[in-house]
Amino acid sequence: MSDFRTDLGKVRGSGAAKGGVHEFITHRVSAVVLALLLPFFLYGLINALHEGYEGLIAWVTSPVGAFVLLGFITAGIYHGRLGINEVISDYVPRAGSRTLFMLLNTLAAFSFWLVGVLAILKIWLGA
């Protein structure tokens, strides 16, 4: 039977990670988001630290400060998880170990993200 797929269709999904283009693009998008949020994060943090602890809490309780922190933590942890997954997929030889380490990496990243978001929301909402 003849194959009617194009050359691109034949090789798509044949790489080592089976989704390298998607991971590449999401890694770059998270890097762009981090680059866009970094100036706002540094500006707010530097201005808040002039007033000490109370200034930092006042910055986190403001909607802009909370939004910048939530976005920065979300993009940063996601970006880090993607980078560590890339290292795991490149250097862990066995498929079972690779799957285990990627699962542990995802669980750790989600745990860190959840703790960070809950801390920011607790400060922001004043609970």
The pLDDT score that the predictor gives to residue 10 is: 62
Provide the CATH number for the domain around residue 48: 1.20.1300.10
Domain holding 84, by residue range, is 18-125
67-94 tens-digit pLDDT: 999 999 999 999 999 999 999 988 998 9
For residue 4, tell me if it sits in a domain.
no
Q: Is 81 exposed, middle or buried, given 0-12, 13-18 or 19+ CB atoms closer than 10 A?
A: buried
Total domain count for the chain? 1
CA-closest candidate to residue 108, choices 120, 116, 97, 119: 116
For residue 8, tell me if it sits in a domain.
no
For residue 6, tell me if it sits in a domain.
no
Q: How many angstroms separate the CA atoms of 39 and 88, rounded?
A: 31
Q: Which two tokens stand for residue 60?
A: 């986190």
For residue 45, tell me if it sits in a domain.
yes
5-18 tens-digit pLDDT: 777 666 665 555 56
